[in-house]
Amino acid sequence: MKRHNQHINNKGIALILTLIIIGIIVVLSLQFNTSMMSELYSSTNLDNEISLGSIAESGVEFALALLSADDIKNIDHLMEDWALASEYSKDSDALFEEGSFDVEIIDLCSMIPVNNLVTYSGVSMTSKVNQGLMIVLKRLLKYSDPDIEDFEADKIVHTLIDWIDTDQDTYGTSDGITPENWTYQDMVPFPNESMKSLTELLNINGIDEKILFDISPQLTLEDNGGKINVYTANEHVLYALFGIQPDEPEVKVIKDFIEDRTDELYLEDINNDPNWYRDWIPSYYPPPGGSVAVITTKSSYFHISSIGKKAPAQRGVQGVVKRDSTSSPAKLTMESWEVI
């Protein structure tokens, strides 16, 4: 890890300066959300707010520049520059007379995409359940609380499917569970749409605040294509993905993989072979549906937060960016933003 930090320090300032310039170009080519930025600047204490808003905006540009400049397209991992945005931010005071920014980029493809449990296809948009994700989510629930029985995890996930899919049918009734026994509270009929907030999960019987607290860091509501990036997923997601229970000795497989995927000794190997992880995680831990069903090695949705700081005040924005790497340079689209 020491070697890693040194690497960051050496590259830090030069990289920031270069990327800020790229960033300005990137942002000029984006449909930037001007109303969001004017919100950033609007306040009674105008001078200071403008300054803080500009710093936060520079942070966003910096983040976009890092995502755009990532030229290893078929893999996204935690040793790449975008993943080190927070570390690089520590040098950002060099860019301003007063103040600095604190930028963090989180890969949303590192998480389990709840709304992708249901996919739609064809002209009639027939809904289909992503069986692989269903299994992964069930495991996540059971691993977060060993008291959750298999059938209870089933009911929770099936209820979630009914919440999201557009029909009024009850998923999985063929297994003998009748709709009256089902599991939602005060939710008749279901919204039949994507979840808007993870706290909505509390409406589902079997999910209490403790379980929600445990599982929500592993979940995203963004459509990330229904796949999880093995190189950025946290250990709990990886346990669920490969079916390794957290109390089994086999967790060492995952812990070693997590350590080695950020070891620069392997940087070149990883960059050259996206399937490098398969040497670390043996094939007798098959992800549900096989490797192609729920696993990816590249990411397309990122959460960016940028805080402009000028003691004692701070101001920031956060939002979701979609990156389409099929075009060159990669196309970045702001999906949503809010001032924080």
23 or 274, CB closer to Ca ion?
Answer: 274
Tell me, by CB under 5 A, how many residues bind Ca ion.
7
Region near Ca ion per CB under 5 A, out of 69-77, 105-113, 231-239, 308-316? 69-77
Q: Are 202 and 209 spatial neighbours (Cβ–Cβ below 8 Å)?
A: yes
Region near Ca ion per CB under 5 A, out of 46-54, 191-199, 261-269, 304-312? 191-199
In what side-by-side order are the strands of the sheet with 100-107? Answer: 100-107, 301-310, 313-324, 331-339
Smallest distance from Ca ion to CB 273, Å: 14
Q: Give the H or E element holding residue 106.
A: strand 100-107
- The reply to whether 76 sits near Ca ion by the rule CB under 5 A is yes
Q: Are 148 and 177 spatial neighbours (Cβ–Cβ below 8 Å)?
A: no
68 or 92, CB closer to Ca ion?
Answer: 68
42 or 333, CB closer to Ca ion?
Answer: 333
82 or 337, CB closer to Ca ion?
Answer: 82
- The reply to whether 57 sits near Ca ion by the rule CB under 5 A is no
Residues in 290-329 that interact with Ca ion by CB under 5 A: none
- The reply to whether 70 sits near Ca ion by the rule CB under 5 A is yes
- The reply to whether 200 sits near Ca ion by the rule CB under 5 A is no
Region near Ca ion per CB under 5 A, out of 71-79, 89-97, 176-184, 274-282? 71-79
Which residue of 162, 226, 274, 305 would you call a contact of Ca ion, by CB under 5 A? Answer: 162
Write the burial class of residue 48 (CB in 10 Å: 0-12 exposed, 13-18 middle, 19+ buried): middle
- Whole-angstrom CA distances from 73 to 100, 234, 258, 309 are 30, 21, 21, 33
Which residue of 48, 119, 192, 271 would you call a contact of Ca ion, by CB under 5 A? Answer: 192
Smallest distance from Ca ion to CB 245, Å: 31
98 or 169, CB closer to Ca ion?
Answer: 169
- The reply to whether 190 sits near Ca ion by the rule CB under 5 A is yes
Smallest distance from Ca ion to CB 126, Å: 13
Which residue of 22, 25, 50, 72 would you call a contact of Ca ion, by CB under 5 A? Answer: 72
**Euclidean distance between CA atoms 338 and 340, whole angstroms:** 6
Smallest distance from Ca ion to CB 170, Å: 8
**Euclidean distance between CA atoms 168 and 187, whole angstroms:** 12
Smallest distance from Ca ion to CB 299, Å: 8
How many Å separate Cα 17 from the centre of its chain? 27
Q: Would you list the DSSP string of 170-205?
A: PTTGGGS--GGG--BSS-SS---S--S-GGGGGGBT
**Euclidean distance between CA atoms 148 and 10, whole angstroms:** 48
How many Å separate Cα 37 from the centre of its chain? 24
**Euclidean distance between CA atoms 33 and 21, whole angstroms:** 20
64 or 307, CB closer to Ca ion?
Answer: 64
DSSP state of 124: T
Applying CB under 5 A, the residues found at the interface with Ca ion are 70, 72, 76, 162, 165, 190, 192
